[in-house]
Amino acid sequence: MQFELPIEFDPGDFSLETIRESYLDFGLVFENADAILQAVLVTVLLAFFAEALGVVLGLVFALLKISRFRILSFPAQLYIDVFRGTPLLVQIIFIYFATPLIGLRFESLFFAGLTALTLNSAAYVAEIFRSGIQSIDRGQMEAGRASGLSYGQTMRYIVVPQAFRRVIPPLTNEFVVIIKDTSIVSVIGLEELLRAARVLQSATANATPLVVAALIYLAICLPLIYLANGLERRLNRRTA
Amino acid sequence: MKVLRSLALVALALVGLVAVAACGGSGGGGSDGEASAEDVKVASDIAYPPFEYEKGGEPVGFDIDLMDEIAKRANLNVEYQNVTFDGIIGGLSSNLYDASISSMTITPERAKKIDFSDPYFNADQSLLVPSDSGVGSVDDLGDATVGVQLGTTGEIKAKEFKEQGKVQGEIRTFDTIEDAFAALNNGQIDAIINDLAVSQDEAKNSGGDLKIVQVIPTGEQYGIAFPKDSDLVAPVNKALAEIKEDGTYEKIYKKWIGRAPEEIP
């Protein structure tokens, strides 16, 4: 029986030496530390602002979505569906390369990337807020209304503040997702961490820059992942 | 139960297949008998007209015609792999591909990592700008944003200009030259430094919106690339020499570049 996996392994190229040379040549990255550090800053700022703006926009969409009035809930639902149902890569390429055809031009790559990430994360954050708000006991709303507060006032002073505590762990997870998603913005040429690593990789034909980029992503994301887990456990203990 | 048993059988069969494949794989890698040297995987960034681009799902262009002609004469069976340019050198040195024809300039830096055929094209760099930009040469760029394709000699040249202070603005890298052209057409960047023949083609197709304002002579030449010490270099060079000699080269050149070559490399 002849069967070959479409993958080849060349034992001649596999040794501790080649691994060290191709993956762990840290001196090479050190010489270009400036470019990498600047790119880390771009990545972090991009993720931070996208999360902050996404939270504001997402809360608005969540409140619209749970509205009893279809004229409010339908557009919010449509927005959330479109942005959750299409790949972020498509959204980014569309926002940067396709909108100029109808006269809307992003001059700044950072702003184009920020727009795409914000619009995308707003859809996910909206779902996080919606489930957070709906997880608050209905009695809270009824009590608020019975004590003479309006629907809006009850939401604002009673329901949303309680929901906020519950959505902090999932919002932290969303922040981790955004940090990783910033790498997708490299496709339009923004020199964030991944592109800076690839520029260096192609100039040196060495994979160490990619390894370093991966380690930096890990160093940023892992503490946040554990923080989210910890917050979630604390929340569960309190509400249990 | 029946389902479980058939699942187990499938799993067993899969394990067997993988084991056989593993043996076959290591056996093939161990022996150096090159019985069938005919199949060659040729990597190319097929978004670089007129050298390589897709038409009706098939790669076409100067490089493709040349490579097909070489394959015919050297008795090779070419299979093209569409890749991004910046991944070619890494892919060749890790033997992912057997060769690459992708308008790649022969440079001493690259020659440390891979082998090149004899040169097959005389190329220069060029500055492409919107016709109404008022930029006449690299010296006029000031703090304009310059687009290049990642990993190309255009990128290297642009960085040189930046070091010399001729370019003060941002140098923006794109994965494909088509993306860079789109950004220039959209007004998101101000200029592109790239291979002359390719930018010329774009200027021609732009209907007067874009123009080449400066040829940046570099004396660079394209070569077909191979992994280090590849057995393919000799037969490919032999075929290439024949093609240059018997007039086929001139025919391919005229077909894609639109004029006769000033000099055959």
Separation of alpha carbons A234 and B22, rounded Å = 49
Confidence tier at A1 by pLDDT (50, 70, 90): low
Number of residues that make up chain B: 265
pLDDT of the residue at A205: 75
With CB atoms and an 8 Å threshold, state whether A109 touches B21. no
Tell me what percent of the residues of chain B surpass a pLDDT of 90. Answer: 67
pLDDT in tens, B191-235: 999 999 999 999 998 989 999 999 998 889 999 999 999 999 999
Interface test with B, best of A2, A202, A211 (most B CBs within 10 A): A202
Among chain B residues, CA nearest to A1: B20
Q: Give me A63's structure tokens.
A: 């409140």
A135 membership: H or E segment, kind and range: none
CA distances for B137 relative to B17, B128, B174, angstroms = 62, 9, 22
3 state SS of A61: helix
Residue of B nearest to A108 (CA): B188
Three-state SS letters, chain B = CHHHHHHHHHHHHHHHHHHHHHHHHHHHHHCCCCCCCCEEEEEECCCECCCEEEECCEEECHHHHHHHHHHHHHCCEEEEEECCHHHHHHHHHCCCCCEECCCCECCHHHHHHEEECCCCEEEEEEEEEECCCCCCCHHHCECCCEEEECCCHHHHHHHHHHHCCCECCCEEEECCHHHHHHHHHCCCCCEEEEEHHHHHHHHHHCCCCEEEEEEEEEEEEECCEEECCCCCHHHHHHHHHHHHHCCHHHHHHHHHHCCCCCCCC
Specify the pLDDT at position B139.
93
What whole-number distance in Å separates Cα of residue B126 and Cα of residue B194? 6
- Contact status of A17 with chain B (Cβ, < 8 Å): no
Contact assignment for A201 to B172 by CB distance below 8 Å:
no
Whole-number pLDDT of residue A169? 94
Whether B104 contacts B87, CB under 8 Å:
no
Q: Is the pLDDT of residue A129 over 90?
A: yes
Q: Counting every residue, how long is chain A?
A: 240
Which run of H or E residues covers position A235?
helix A208-239
Q: Which residues, at least 6 apart from B103, have a Cβ–Cβ distance to it below 8 Å?
A: B48, B51, B52, B63, B121, B123, B195, B198, B222
Q: Which residues of A touch B113 (CB under 8 A)?
A: 205
All residues at 6 or more sequence positions from A129 whose CB lies less than 8 Å from its CB, including other chains: A58, A59, A62, A63, A163, A167
Q: What whole-number distance in Å separates Cα of residue B163 and Cα of residue B170?
A: 12
Chain B: give the shortest CA distance to residue A45, in Å: 19
- Per-chain mean pLDDT for chain B: 87
Letter string b/e over residues A122-133, b meaning 16 or more CB atoms within 10 A of that residue's CB: bbbbbbbbbebb
pLDDT of B95 = 86
CA B63, B161, B86, A25 torsion-angle sign: positive
pLDDT at A106: 87
pLDDT score at B138: 93
Task: Name the percent of chain B lying above pLDDT 70.
Answer: 86
- B23 pLDDT above the threshold of 60: no
Judge whether residue B34 has pLDDT over 50: no
Mean pLDDT within B28-36: 41
How many C-beta neighbours within 10 Å does residue B15 have? 10
Average pLDDT over residues A94-103: 88
Peptide bond before A169: cis, by omega within 30 degrees of 0? no
How many Cβ pairs closer than 8 A exist between chain A and B? 75
- Nearest-CA distance from A95 to chain B in Å? 12
pLDDT of residue B3: 52
Does A109 sit within 8 Å of B172, measured CB to CB? Answer: yes
Residue B31: pLDDT band (50, 70, 90) is very low
> For residue B12, what pLDDT band results from cuts at 50, 70 and 90?
low
DSSP string, A162-221: HHHHHHHHHHHHHHHHHHHHGGGGGGGT--SHHHHHHHHHHHHT-SHHHHHHHHHHHHHH
**Model confidence at A240: pLDDT above 80:** no
Residue tagged 């972020």 (tokens): A88
Q: Distance (Å, rounded) from C-alpha A34 to C-alpha B211?
A: 35
Interfacial B residues in 107-166 facing A (CB < 8 Å): 113, 147, 150-151
Distance of CA B109 to the CA centre of its chain: 16
Q: How confident is the model at residue A9 (pLDDT cuts 50, 70, 90)?
A: confident
The one-character DSSP state at A68 is: S
* Neighbour-count burial of B261, counting CB atoms closer than 10 A to its CB (0-12 exposed, 13-18 middle, 19+ buried): middle
CB spacing of B24 vs A189 below 8 angstroms: no
Give B54's strand partners: B59
A225 within 8 A of A201, measured Cβ to Cβ = no
The model's pLDDT over B147-197, given as tens digits with 9 standing for 90+, comes to 999 989 999 999 999 999 999 999 999 999 999 999 999 999 999 999 999
CA separation for the pair B245, A197 (Å, rounded): 44
Collapsed DSSP state (helix, strand, coil) of residue A141: helix
A3 to chain B, closest Cα gap in Å: 6
Predicted local confidence at residue B56, as pLDDT: 84
Which tens digit of pLDDT belongs to each residue from A150-180?
A: 999 999 999 999 998 899 999 999 999 999 9
Position with higher pLDDT, B89 vs A7: B89
Supply the DSSP symbol for A103: T
